[in-house]
Amino acid sequence: MPVTEHQGSSSSPSPFSFGRSLLSLRRDHAAMPSGEEADLEAFQRHVAASLGELLPGEGEGGSGGGEEILSVAWIRRLLEAFILCQEEFRVFVAQARRRGALPAAGEKLVVEFHERAVKALDVCNAARDGVDQLRRWERLADIAASVLLAPGEIHEGQLRRARKALSDLAVLLVDDTAASGSGGVASFLASHRNRSFGRARASPSRAAVAGASSATSASHFRSLSWSVSRAWSASRQLQAIGAGLAAPRAHEAGLAAPVYAMGCVLHLAAWALVAAVPCPDRSAALQAHHLPAAPPRAAFPWAPPLLTLQERLAEEGKRKDRRHSCGLLKEIHVLEKSTHKLTEAIDAAPIPLFGDREADVREAAAELAAVCAAMRDGLEPLERQVREVFHRIVRSRVEGLDSSMHNAD
């Protein structure tokens, strides 16, 4: 995401649904003698409300807004919460500057937050590339489903084409950090690749060449698709974002608390992105060793929901059925299961297809087609949301530099 793009996209409106804005809360407290204290209290309450709306609900895997945690919809709402909180933080800082209540120490805190936020730009780039990978997976899965849902009888050529698409998908689904012995759906599909091609009566040499060609193509895709460097690590980047992030001491007033709140929300959003979509070295990022010191629950109203969300993300990374997945995004898990089901149905199908066997194949193909349609509907808005976060961070950083230069003059 080139930095120069932010001027064109930052002006686009973003739909937010997280309670009242800081400006409306500020009007409610206009009669209070201390405007800064009222603004601080309102800001922290709003951060707490935004995070609280993301908490899992009473139902299994459900969230307060009806979306399952780590689904595309839930990730978008988390990013919306970050964007809104960052915008209100910007207003909070601007108001403090206009009142002359922002000393040099406060300016330093603002600069430190912007520097921390800039480290999340690489996470946005890696997440965008991860979304591109998901699109590639969806296209391959849709090919396999579409050829089996065509009108008329299912012939051997259609089965062969579906197997080829599933084989290519299997290669791409293998996580770089856990490809060998993962025991997941990707390994199952990869182990069936040669047997599936064997149905086409290919000679061993031709099958080997085809498999090597497919693996080489997928390896080339994985190595060249990332806009971050090949040595970039999601785990190390999360550690850098959380480095030095500690709760302010009792005597630290002013911007110390809101800067700390924004740092924690930033880290949460970056961690969720890395966990959800394919990223370089994302498996190490799931271990939660990059987490900064936990904020005191009683000291900040947003600390309890933040800690609950951190705990849920850590639990999702430890789940046995997700441990070796390419991403914790719910849609990835559903795609893997549907692909697994279709692969089993094809391998169990006789040639020619008839009766219940044909019905099983069509049912599995229809299920996979529905999953692909849902992914197409969700991935484009998610990518726009990631781009918006990127541009907001860049714009805030530029505005912060301009303000610092103005104050120095």
Reported confidence tier of residue 224, pLDDT bands at 50, 70, 90: very low
Q: For residue 161, what are the CA distances in angstroms to 158, 229, 274, 305, 370?
A: 5, 35, 33, 48, 19
For a pLDDT cut of 90, what percent of the chain falls above it? 47
Q: Regarding predicted confidence, which is higher, 48 or 284?
A: 48
Joined tokens for residue 308: 């609950």
Cα distance between the two ends of the chain:
32
Q: For residue 139, what are the CA distances in angstroms to 93, 143, 184, 371, 381?
A: 45, 6, 21, 11, 17
63 vs 48: CA distance, rounded Å:
15
For a pLDDT cut of 70, what percent of the chain falls above it? 73
For position 173, what pLDDT does the model report? 81
Mean pLDDT of 354-361: 86
Reported confidence tier of residue 241, pLDDT bands at 50, 70, 90: very high
Q: What is the mean pLDDT of the chain?
A: 78
Convert 204-253 into a string of H (helix), E (strand) and C (coil): HHHHHHHHHHHHHHHHHHHHHCCCCCCCCCHHHHHHHHHCCCCCCCCCCC
Question: Between vectors from CA 57 to CA 24 and to CA 76, what angle results, nearest 5°?
Answer: 60
Mean pLDDT of 56-73: 68
Considering only 70-74, 251-255, 266-270, which range has the smallest mean pLDDT? 251-255
Q: Is the pLDDT of residue 33 over 50?
A: no
For position 210, what pLDDT does the model report? 42
Reported confidence tier of residue 322, pLDDT bands at 50, 70, 90: confident
239 vs 32: CA distance, rounded Å:
40
Angle between helices 355-408 and 104-118 (to 10 degrees): 150
For position 207, what pLDDT does the model report? 39
Length of the chain: 409
pLDDT digits (tens, 9 = 90+) for 209-219: 344 444 444 44
pLDDT digits (tens, 9 = 90+) for 287-314: 767 788 889 988 899 999 999 999 999 8
> Which DSSP letter does residue 3 get?
G
Grouping H, G, I as helix, E, B as strand and the rest as coil, residue 68 is strand
Burial class (CB in 10 A: 0-12, 13-18, 19+), 340: buried
Domain boundaries, the chain: 73-178+230-406
111-149 burial code (b ≥16 CB/10 A, e <16): bebbebbebbbbbbbbbbbbbbbbeebbebbbbbbbbbe
For position 20, what pLDDT does the model report? 41
Preceding omega of 352 cis (within 30 degrees of 0): yes
Q: Which residues pair with 63 in a beta bridge?
A: 56
